[in-house]
Amino acid sequence: MPDLLEYLDAAAARFEEELCELLRIPSVSADSTRRDDMHRAARWLHGQLQSLGLAAEVVETAGPPLVYAESAPVPGAPTVLVYGHYDVQPADPLEAWLTPPFEPTRRDGNVFARGATDDKGQLLTHVKSVEAWLAARGPLPLQIKFLIEGEEEIGSENLERYLVDHQERLDCDVVVISDTSQFGDGYPAITFGLRGIAYFELRLTGPNQDLHSGVFGGAVVNPVNALTQILSQLIDTSGRIQVPGFYDDVVPLSERERAEFAGLPFDEAALRAQLDVEHLAGEVGYSTLERRWARPTFDIHGIWGGYQGEGGKTVLPCRAGAKFSFRLVPNQDPHRVAAALRPFLTSLCPPGARMELVEMHGAPGVLVALDSPFMTAAATAVERGFGRHPVFIREGGSIPIVTRFKQVLGVDTLLLGWGLEDDHAHGPNEKFSLADFHRGIRASAWLWEELSKIRT
Amino acid sequence: MPDLLEYLDAAAARFEEELCELLRIPSVSADSTRRDDMHRAARWLHGQLQSLGLAAEVVETAGPPLVYAESAPVPGAPTVLVYGHYDVQPADPLEAWLTPPFEPTRRDGNVFARGATDDKGQLLTHVKSVEAWLAARGPLPLQIKFLIEGEEEIGSENLERYLVDHQERLDCDVVVISDTSQFGDGYPAITFGLRGIAYFELRLTGPNQDLHSGVFGGAVVNPVNALTQILSQLIDTSGRIQVPGFYDDVVPLSERERAEFAGLPFDEAALRAQLDVEHLAGEVGYSTLERRWARPTFDIHGIWGGYQGEGGKTVLPCRAGAKFSFRLVPNQDPHRVAAALRPFLTSLCPPGARMELVEMHGAPGVLVALDSPFMTAAATAVERGFGRHPVFIREGGSIPIVTRFKQVLGVDTLLLGWGLEDDHAHGPNEKFSLADFHRGIRASAWLWEELSKIRT
């Protein structure tokens, strides 16, 4: 496709500028004060897709809007649904960013901004490959549908509803998502497995007001003490989760899987250096890749209670809380986890404290078949875009919608990640390699080419 | 003293107005942005004492200033040192206050404001009794020295230095402090025992940045998980502190003490109702009063880490921290506690996490002799001021300076508390009964009378 590749070269600088435009919009879905920015981001994407001649629409929902667009059907060729999300994680802690999260900055071949890799930069590769195809080669060789949401980081509640209500419109042969990572720099990857998640908020209340810890300490439940006691009992020191029945549905790793993971060029020392930790940690009896990709975990995402300011306040706080989640492996059900967790927490809650457990969001894990023609086409496209055959990996994160696409639309998802593991998704100084941005666009263009060869 | 009591009646409304003036000054010592307010509070008190004809001085320190004042020596009569503090606890959580913490509001016979009972209201009773004595009866019958600091809530570091450097100036026969509570409404009390304290801040660091909990969860130490594990191991479910050697210096409660505590009219159901808890809690094998007054405790005052905002952020935080303290009983040494705590925490800190322990402040507990003429005089004064003979109690809070007065000046302290246990010291909606304010002034005036009878 020399004509198309030439177009991409000529448009490279403009594509980067357009990515920065999108990154400047602080579309933080968890922040209810950002509603206008959610709409701005949706309208920006809508404008892009409409200008390509696609039938594009901003779909209002009870939350941030969806953006939907589609090209014309191509008889005999497959229909592909490209999914992405324009919402981003909160940017705090702000003081840890070298440059402001919503002022995209180019440094060392990367663009630094919240959402650079997750998912604005990766999502945009598919928009730009379509633009290039249409400009350089004419009509698309297959039907492409875009479905872009603004609630991925907070549970996709409204997308879920839209998906169920618009199955005909979203009908397709395969879904494509670029919201994952390469295995490492120079190791493009296709992700065939994801962990699920069950996310909770636990709130504890003790006395009806903050008390003087001298006057009342030792005679009344301290909710912060209680919270540490409860949370510490959810996992043991060997990294085993203690919720009764938690491992019942966990399928053990096969010897073949363990051998394949062990064969990947994973550099544990480099990871330690990257994170600046003397030791990695985790469940006893499993390798680091196994722990990250294929074993359940328990992580507290946030904890609060009492006095967090300067100096020493001798208060006995009246409430405390925490947000935490379990990462689940395929075959575990987040609803079963929640059902087992609630009575377990209740049993751990000391008399004199009151407990409230909020089920925030959940999704089961997923495994995609490796032997389909779609997967073969994707591998070829990635190899052409990145110059190297992809490795097949699993990833520890969750993309709940992948499960729902399977359940509702009956199709598999190709997880083609252009990011890198040290892109700091969800952390300060999130970045995306501009070289990978352009490689991703090329791979995406090749993907349309390869997928269009599949006869349906 | 009919002349004096008449004066007090006539001045009552003005005294309340003046108390409100002092309460309007947000002299929060833990908040470094409040330095000007600390000086304003000190100057206000200095103005009061100077207007009484006392030799008064604002003493600058490295922190908030001290206020010192003294009346003329009275040969043959004792010298009494009145100690108090004009600094207050932080007012947060602000949203829990029914009326703003620094806009004193009268309701149901109380004044509501941060510092109302702790310690501005109680302290002012002694200033006003001196005013009344001087106006109604002439020269004071004994020498009174006032020593008022602005760092009681954060460890009295500069008062400590001043005390050591000015022992001659502060020379006295007995110290008087009103910074405690009555046993209950209608039960005026003299407190003869206080708990000590050892206050710490623990900070944990894991990876060098916040991480995506899906990508890294299960493979690297989560400092919030680690913090809950560590803190939960400092105390067991029976309320026993687990720091090695912690109980070595604890003198067991005698059968007589236990019997005396048990004989006090303590209403546990009323306390549960006051705090709105179904159950009280604490160390197994001890009564509620024993737990609060005479047993060590462990309370977490504040905890933080990760995402505390709205919605669900799937972050693996890079740091976490907590403030906590042990309340100590007489004979326990806060330095020994700190020395035992540090290696214990180090042993609990998992590989891959780094720990920093800050020793914030500490003080041993204290017991005051019940059989001195000063105590007898105080009991008479309290009975005359409140119309009922005081009960002799201990209190769970710490007034570290009481120990230092004994160590440096060689004198006992009379802890004459005019407050009530439900005054919400350190919490929102702190209050002080205006009736007790006036009773306290009367008791203070009687105290000068009774103490002056002691020949030295």
A360-389 pLDDT per residue, tens:
988 899 888 788 999 999 999 999 999 999
Residues of B in contact with A320 (CB under 8 A): 303
Q: Mutate which of B117, B307, B329, B394 to test chain A, going by most A C-beta atoms within 10 A?
A: B307
Residues of chain B in contact with residue A210, where contact means CB-CB under 8 angstroms, are: 93, 96, 426-428
| Residues B364-388 pLDDT 10s | 988 887 889 999 999 999 999 999 9
Torsion (CA) A187, A190, A191, A192 in degrees, nearest 10: -140
Could you tell me if residue B419 is inside a domain?
yes
Backbone phi, psi, residue A405, to 5°: -60, -40
Asked whether residue B261 is domain-assigned, the answer is no
Under an 8 A CB cutoff, do B89 and A315 touch?
yes
Q: In this complex, which of A227, A312, A317 lies closest to B154 when CB atoms are compared? A: A312
| Among the partner residues B237, B288, B299, nearest to A213 by beta-carbon distance | B299
pLDDT of residue B185: 85
Q: For residue B300, which of A299, A239, A391, A304 has the smallest C-alpha distance?
A: A304
A203 phi/psi in degrees, rounded to 5: -120, 130
Q: pLDDT tens digits for B254-302?
A: 888 898 889 898 999 999 999 999 999 999 999 999 999 999 999 999 9
Q: Mean pLDDT of all residues in chain A?
A: 95
Give the pLDDT band of residue B111 (cuts 50, 70, 90): very high
Q: What is the largest CA-CA distance in chain A?
A: 79
Which 3 state secondary structure label does DSSP give B205? strand
Q: Looking at A345, A363, A381, which one is the last position of a domain?
A: A363
Average pLDDT over residues A433-438: 98
Residues B192-213 have pLDDT tens digits of 889 999 999 999 999 999 999 9
Q: Which of B70, B152, B395, B436 is catalytic?
A: B152
Do B442 and B324 reside in the same domain of the chain? no
Measured between beta carbons, the chain B residues lying within 8 angstroms of A322 are 224
Chosen from B242, B292, B301 to mutate, greatest number of chain A CBs within 10 A: B301
CA distance B347 to chain A (A): 13
Confidence grade of residue B167 (pLDDT, cut at 50, 70, 90): very high
Q: What is the mean pLDDT of residues B429-437?
A: 98
User: Shortest Cα distance from A196 to chain B (angstroms)?
Assistant: 9
pLDDT recorded at residue B422: 87
Q: Which residue in the set B301, B312, B315 is minimally distant from A313, CB to CB? A: B301
Known catalytic residue: B70?
no
With CB atoms and an 8 Å threshold, state whether A295 touches B218: yes
C-alpha A91/C-alpha A427 separation (Å) is: 7
Cross-chain CB nearest to B275 (options A208, A312, A325)? A208
- Give A313 to chain B, closest Cα distance, Å: 7
Residues B153 and B205 in one domain: no
The whole-angstrom distance between B320's CA and the closest CA on chain A is: 8
pLDDT at A215: 87
Nearest to A304 among B206, B279, B308 (CB): B308
Instruction: Indicate if B394 and B316 belong to the same structural domain.
Output: no
Residues of A carrying an active site annotation: 87, 152
Among residues B15, B27, B12, B20, which one has the least CA distance to residue B105?
B20
Q: Two tokens at A208?
A: 């009806």
Instruction: Give every CB contact of residue A356 below 8 A, 6+ residues apart in sequence.
Output: A202, A203, A204, A205
| Mutation site for A-interface testing, chosen from B119, B267, B303, B316 by largest number of A Cβ within 10 Å | B303
pLDDT tens, position by position, A267-289: 999 999 999 999 999 999 999 99
Can you tell me the distance from the alpha carbon of B304 to that of B451, in angstroms, rounded to the nearest whole number? 50
The string of pLDDT tens digits covering residues A248-257 is 999 898 888 8
What is the pLDDT at residue B400? 77
All residues of chain A having their beta carbon less than 8 Å from the beta carbon of residue B301 are 213, 224, 306-307, 312-317
Q: Is residue B12 part of a domain?
A: yes
Out of B232, B237, B315, closest to residue A301 by CB: B315
Find chain B residues with C-beta within 8 A of A222's C-beta.
299-300
For chain B, give the longest Cα–Cα distance.
Answer: 80
Range of the domain at A45: 2-194+365-452
Residues of B in contact with A302 (CB under 8 A): 224, 305-309, 313, 315, 317
| Shortest CA distance from B92: residue in chain A | A307
- Residue B30 structure tokens: 């833990």
List strands edge to edge, sheet with B319-328: A354-363, A196-205, A319-328, A297-306, B297-306, B319-328, B196-205, B354-363
CA distance A322 to A200: 8
Q: Is residue A378 one of the residues assigned to a domain?
A: yes
Alpha-carbon span B66 to B72, nearest angstrom: 20
Distance CA A429, CA A101 (A): 7
Q: Say which residues have a Cβ less than 8 Å from residue B1's Cβ, sequence separation at least 6.
A: B136, B137, B445, B446, B449
Closest Cβ opposite residue B214 in set A209, A295, A396: A396
- A185-236 residue pLDDT tens: 889 999 988 999 999 999 999 999 999 999 899 999 999 999 999 999 999 9
% of chain B with per-residue pLDDT over 70: 100
Residues of A in contact with B225 (CB under 8 A): 231, 235, 298-300
Of all residues in chain B, the percent with pLDDT exceeding 90 is 85
Looking at residue A127, its pLDDT comes to 98
- Chain B residues near residue A348 by CB distance under 8 angstroms: none
What is the Cα–Cα distance from B171 to B336, expressed in whole angstroms?
30
Percentage of chain A exceeding pLDDT 70: 100
Is B139 in the same domain as B47?
Answer: yes
Looking at the predicted structure, is the pLDDT value of residue A400 above 80? no
Write out the E strands in A86-188.
105-107, 110-112, 143-149, 174-177
Is A402 part of a structural domain of the chain?
Answer: yes
List the single residue in B212, B281, B426 with the smallest CB-CB distance to A315.
B426
End position of a domain, from candidates B320, B345, B363: B363
What per-residue confidence (pLDDT) applies to A361? 86
Residue B275 pLDDT: 94
Contact across the interface for B232 and A233, Cβ inside 8 Å: yes
> Do B172 and B310 sit in the same domain of this protein?
no
How many Cβ contacts (< 8 angstroms) between chains A and B? 374
Tell me which of A206-210, A251-255, A295-299, B71-75 is least confident.
A251-255
Write the CATH number for A8: 3.40.630.10
Q: Are residues A162 and A234 in the same domain?
A: no
CA angle B144, B149, B153 (to 5 degrees): 135
Which residues, 6+ apart, have CB-to-CB distance to B353 below 8 Å?
Answer: B204, B205, B206, B221, B223, B226
B353 inside domain: yes
Query: From the centroid of its chain, how far is CA A12?
Result: 26
Beta bridge partners of B111: B106, B432
Q: Which residues of A touch B199 (CB under 8 A)?
A: 312, 314
What are φ and ψ of residue B112, in 5° steps? -100, 120
Asked if B306's CB is within 8 angstroms of A323's CB, the reply is yes
**What pLDDT score does A370 carry?**
81
Chain center to CA of B355: 30
| CA–CA gap between residue A60 and residue A180 (Å, rounded) | 27
| Nearest-neighbour CA in chain A from B246: distance (Å) | 16
CB contact under 8 A, B217 and A425: no
Distance CA B21, CA B176 (A): 24
Domain boundary among B331, B363, B395: B363
pLDDT of residue A378: 97
- Would you give the DSSP letter of residue A207? S
Q: How far is B28 from chain A (nearest CA, A)?
A: 11
Do residues B26 and B123 share a domain?
yes
Sign of the C-alpha dihedral computed for residues B265, B269, B273 and B278 taken in this order: positive
User: Confidence class of residue A4 from pLDDT cuts 50, 70 and 90?
Assistant: very high
Which chain A residues are within 8 Å of B291, Cβ to Cβ?
218-219
CATH number of the domain where residue B218 is located: 3.30.70.360
pLDDT band for position A398 (cuts 50, 70, 90): confident
- Find the CB nearest A279 among B222, B351, B360: B351
A309·B206 Cβ contact <8 A: no
At residue A77, does pLDDT exceed 90? yes
Same domain? For B240 and B319 the reply is yes
Q: What is the mean pLDDT of residues B103-127?
A: 98
Give residue B374's pLDDT.
Answer: 96
What is the predicted pLDDT for the residue at B72? 97
Chain A hits for B217, CB-CB cut-off 8 Å, are 292, 297, 299, 327, 396
- pLDDT score of A185: 85
Name the band, by pLDDT with cuts 50, 70 and 90, for residue B390. very high
In a shared domain, residues A393 and A329: no
Query: Given an 8 Å threshold on Cβ–Cβ distance, is B30 in contact with A207?
Result: no
**Number of neighbours of residue A59 by Cβ within 10 angstroms:** 17
Of A58, A37, A23, A40, give the one whose Cα is nearest residue A158. A58
Rounded to whole angstroms, the Cα distance separating B359 from B351 reads: 23
Marked catalytic residue, from B37, B70, B87, B412: B87
Band of the pLDDT at A403, cuts 50, 70, 90?
confident
CB contact under 8 A, A214 and B327: yes
pLDDT for position B177: 97
CB contact under 8 A, B281 and A220: yes
* Contact flag B323-A302 (C-beta cutoff 8 Å): no
Q: How far off is chain B from A123, nearest CA to CA, in Å?
A: 19
Note whether A397 contacts B239, CB cutoff 8 Å. no
Are the Cβ atoms of A217 and B427 closer than 8 angstroms? no
CA–CA min distance B154, chain A (Å): 6
Paired strand residues for A258: none
**Residue A327: HSE in the Cβ half-sphere, 13 Å Cα cutoff:** 35
Tell me the average pLDDT across B347-359: 97
Reply yes or no on whether the pLDDT at B306 is more than 80. Answer: yes
pLDDT at position B46 is 98
Overall pTM surpassing 0.90 (yes/no): no
- Report chain A's terminal Cα–Cα distance, integer Å: 23
Nearest chain A residue to B289 by CA distance is A219
Give how far A207 is from chain B: nearest CA, Å.
Answer: 5
Asked if residue A275 belongs to a domain, the reply is: no
- What residues of A are in contact with residue B421 (Cβ under 8 Å)? 215
Angle between helices A434-452 and A121-136 (to 10 degrees): 50
DSSP secondary structure letter of residue A152: G
pLDDT in tens, A19-51: 999 999 999 999 999 999 999 999 999 999 999
Q: What pLDDT, on a 0 to 100 scale, did the predictor assign at position B367?
A: 84
What's the domain count of chain A? 2
Q: Are residues A225 and A338 in the same domain?
A: yes
* Residues B358 and B213 occupy one common structural domain: yes
Question: So what's the pLDDT on residue B399?
Answer: 80
Sheet holding A105-107, edge to edge: A105-107, A110-112, A431-433
- Is residue B283 assigned to a domain? no
d(CA A389, CA A375): 12
**A211, A328: one domain:** yes
Which residue's structure tokens are 């029914």? B98
